[in-house]
Amino acid sequence: MSDLTQALTVSTPEQARLLLDPALLTPLGHLLRGEVSAAELARACGLSVQQAHHRLTRLRAAGLVVVTQEQARAGRPVKRYRAAAQAFRVPFALTDHATLADLVAGLHRDLLARQHERVGRMLAAQPGRTLNIHLNDRGQVTLDFAGFEDVMDSAISAHRLAYLSPADAQELETRLQALFDWLDERAQPRADGLVPRLLGVFLTPGDA
């Protein structure tokens, strides 16, 4: 078994491809946090057990996931799995992307598409309502969701261009990291009564 105290630098294009596959990121997150059975992974990720087994088979074949134990039961024993290391490093040369910009765009594309599709479906189902698009006092395009609260529960879409001092930029980064730390502490496995939320935040040097 791989040393779980170490980060693993992958060495093949197939390993890199699997680690950067958006469909595998959520299962990998659970496997990095601890041991799970295929059934537990399926429940946590909203997959069928067959789909979870398929993902585990691909990851095991690439050496990214290991079986940690087998629990005896009538019939086939229950296997428990976890990631082969506590973290993975992917050399850029092993990826399928020509540039780093292509890689980042690929990682974000599916998430943004799902967000836009979800919001679009909710708004399209309300043909009698008016969605206002305007410029705020800073010249930024803003969608006004006022009046859609009953169908847009906890929905925010905002982008900002801000000119900050180095100290304020560092403070903003620290606050955003604290927000994600809080979210990681509060987030729970998929279960009845819990509502999924897509959250995306980017902070990077640059102009619009």
* pLDDT tens, residue order, the chain (208 aa): 444 558 899 999 999 999 988 889 889 989 998 899 999 999 888 899 999 999 999 999 999 999 998 887 777 788 999 999 999 999 999 998 888 888 877 777 776 777 667 667 666 766 667 767 777 676 666 766 666 666 666 566 667 778 899 999 999 999 999 998 898 888 777 777 887 777 777 788 877 6
In the predicted model, what is the mean pLDDT of the chain?
Answer: 82
Kindly report, as residue ranges, where domains of CATH 1.10.10.10 are found in the chain: 7-94
DSSP alpha helices (H): ranges in the chain? 13-19, 22-33, 38-45, 49-61, 100-124, 166-186
CATH code: domain 7-94 is 1.10.10.10
Question: Beta 87-89 vs 7-9: how paired, if at all?
Answer: parallel
Three-class DSSP category at 179: helix
Residue 38 · residue 49 · CB < 8 Å: yes
Phi-psi region of 84 (alpha: psi -120 to 50; beta: other; left: phi over 0): alpha
The answer to whether the beta carbons of residues 106 and 20 sit under 8 Å apart is: yes
pTM beyond 0.85, yes or no: no
- Which value, in Å, is the radius of gyration of the alpha carbons in the chain? 21
Place of tokens 């537990």: 40
